[in-house]
């Protein structure tokens, strides 16, 4: 079990306490501190002592670098069968790990298990049940704002949020861990797509409940560079992992969002969105030679046929039409309200 802290002492304390109450007994708790201020690592060590394995990073290595050091050590050691990640701004139900491991034991062909994350202050509503991939190549939280009761059953998903997830260690040894250069955001999408692209599967576990303070950690670093890197990360993840048959079928939607959205966004007053999209996509374009090499490398790791993997990914993706329409309506309504004021 890994928990990453960066200037979030009170949240991390609550998170570790929820981990300590897990009914799944065979748990090692690794807490990584990303060079937090105000001696937060010392305070965590003083409070939790030997009940946690504390790693102190000399710099803020982001979500990817922060986790990867411990992930590498655990996978090299070879003793663990599963590795769970829990955001420090989340609190898990006592049977959270039990439910995830139970599902993992029942589905040995799956390597990624998504939790049912709910809003911390409104636990009757879903924050996400994993990740949906749109036909435009964009990733969105599955089930956001829907009642918890709308998801009574576990089942297949396209991906899992890294905020509360269980990974099969044998899968990670085979396909690798987070991409260091992603730093933060969409590294979980990349890993989920990589799992599917190499023949592993992903599942949502309905009764693995986690209450989450949405974006409390991310909001500390959300600036233009973060948003540009997010576009670049997601676009890179898509072009490395998604099979060519799916890309070809989605090509009209991809070209539409790449070419038309940056042109239309300023007409809706979204100048920043247009600028960020263009910057992020150009960064991906310049990295395309490396992306193509990565595609070839992971194609060699494929455990199932290309067509079977493509069919699975094609049917699990979601149409972009509703998402784009809702965005358009929200922007138009917001502009009208401002005008009327």
Measured distance CA(51)–CA(53) in Å, rounded: 7
Same domain, 36 and 184: yes
Q: What is the pLDDT of residues 127-162, one digit of tens each?
A: 999 999 999 999 999 999 999 999 999 999 999 999
Provide the domain count of the chain: 2
Same domain, 93 and 14: yes
Q: Which structural domain, as residue segments, surrounds residue 319?
A: 228-340
Mean per-residue pLDDT, 83-95:
97
H or E element at residue 205: strand 201-212
* Residue where a domain terminates, one of 200, 220, 240: 220
> Rounded to the nearest 10 degrees, what angle do helices 271-286 and 224-241 cross at?
50
The pLDDT score that the predictor gives to residue 332 is: 54
* Residue where a domain terminates, one of 155, 189, 220: 220
The pLDDT score that the predictor gives to residue 196 is: 97
Q: Is the pLDDT of residue 78 over 90?
A: no
Q: Is the pLDDT of residue 341 over 50?
A: no
Q: What is the pLDDT of residues 212-271, one digit of tens each?
A: 998 766 666 668 899 999 999 999 999 999 999 999 999 999 998 999 989 988 887 888
Same domain, 285 and 204: no
**Hey, which bits of 67-158 come out as E strands?**
82-86, 90-92, 110-119, 126-128, 131-133, 139-141, 155-156
CA distances from 113 to 27, 41, 63, 165, 208 (A): 17, 29, 19, 6, 10
Q: Which percentage of the chain shows pLDDT scores above 90?
A: 84
Q: For the chain, what is the mean pLDDT?
A: 93
Mean per-residue pLDDT, 26-39:
95
Same domain, 52 and 128: yes
Same domain, 164 and 202: yes
* Helix, strand or coil, per DSSP, at residue 296: helix
Q: Is the pLDDT of residue 103 over 80?
A: yes
* Residue where a domain terminates, one of 220, 254, 277: 220
The pLDDT score that the predictor gives to residue 327 is: 66
Same domain, 66 and 199: yes
Using alpha carbons, select from 181, 178, 174, 182 the residue that is nearest to residue 198: 174
Same domain, 325 and 184: no
The pLDDT score that the predictor gives to residue 10 is: 96
336 band by pLDDT with thresholds 50, 70 and 90: very low
- Tell how far CA 286 is from the center of its chain: 24
Same domain, 61 and 158: yes
Same domain, 300 and 328: yes
Which CATH number characterizes residue 179's domain? 3.90.550.60
39 band by pLDDT with thresholds 50, 70 and 90: very high
Helical residues (DSSP H) of the chain, grouped into ranges:
9-20, 40-48, 62-77, 96-106, 169-175, 187-197, 224-241, 244-255, 261-264, 271-286, 288-299, 306-316, 321-340
Mean per-residue pLDDT, 300-310:
95
CA distances from 206 to 80, 156, 329 (A): 24, 11, 31
Same domain, 130 and 246: no
Whole-prediction pTM? 0.94
Same domain, 216 and 234: no
Using alpha carbons, select from 197, 125, 186 the residue that is nearest to residue 161: 186
Q: Is the pLDDT of residue 333 over 70?
A: no
The pLDDT score that the predictor gives to residue 309 is: 97
């Amino acid at each position: 079990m890994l928990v990453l802290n960066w200037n979030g002492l009170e949240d991390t304390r609550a998170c570790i306490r929820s981990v300590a109450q897990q009914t799944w007994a065979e748990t090692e708790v690794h807490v990584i501190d990303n060079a937090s201020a105000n001696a937060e690592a010392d305070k965590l060590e003083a409070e939790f002592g030997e009940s946690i394995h504390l790693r102190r990073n000399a710099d803020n290595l982001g979500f990817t670098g922060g986790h990867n050091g411990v992930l590498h050590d655990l996978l090299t050691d070879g003793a663990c069968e599963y590795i769970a990640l829990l955001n420090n701004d989340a609190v898990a139900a006592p049977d959270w790990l039990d439910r995830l491991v139970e599902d993992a034991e029942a589905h040995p062909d799956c390597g990624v298990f998504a939790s049912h994350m709910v809003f911390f202050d409104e636990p009757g509503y879903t924050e996400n049940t994993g990740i949906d991939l749109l036909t435009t190549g964009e990733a969105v939280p599955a089930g956001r704002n829907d009642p918890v009761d709308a998801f009574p059953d576990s089942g297949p998903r396209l991906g899992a949020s890294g905020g509360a997830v269980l990974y099969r260690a044998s899968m990670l040894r085979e396909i690798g861990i987070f991409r260091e250069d992603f730093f933060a955001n969409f590294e979980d999408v990349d890993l989920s797509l990589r799992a599917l692209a190499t023949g592993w599967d992903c599942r949502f576990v309905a009764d693995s409940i986690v209450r989450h303070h949405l974006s409390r950690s991310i909001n500390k670093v959300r600036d233009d560079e973060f948003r540009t890197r997010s576009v670049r990360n997601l676009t890179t993840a898509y072009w490395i992992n998604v099979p060519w048959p799916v890309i070809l079928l989605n090509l009209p939607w991809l070209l539409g969002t790449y070419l038309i959205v940056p042109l239309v966004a300023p007409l809706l007053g979204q100048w920043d969105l247009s600028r960020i999209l263009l910057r992020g996509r150009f960064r991906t374009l310049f990295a395309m030679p490396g992306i193509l090499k990565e595609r070839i490398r992971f194609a060699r790791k494929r455990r199932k046929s290309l067509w079977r993997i493509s069919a699975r990914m094609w049917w699990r993706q979601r149409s972009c039409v509703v998402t784009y329409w809702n965005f358009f309506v929200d922007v138009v309504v917001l502009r009208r309200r401002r005008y009327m004021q």
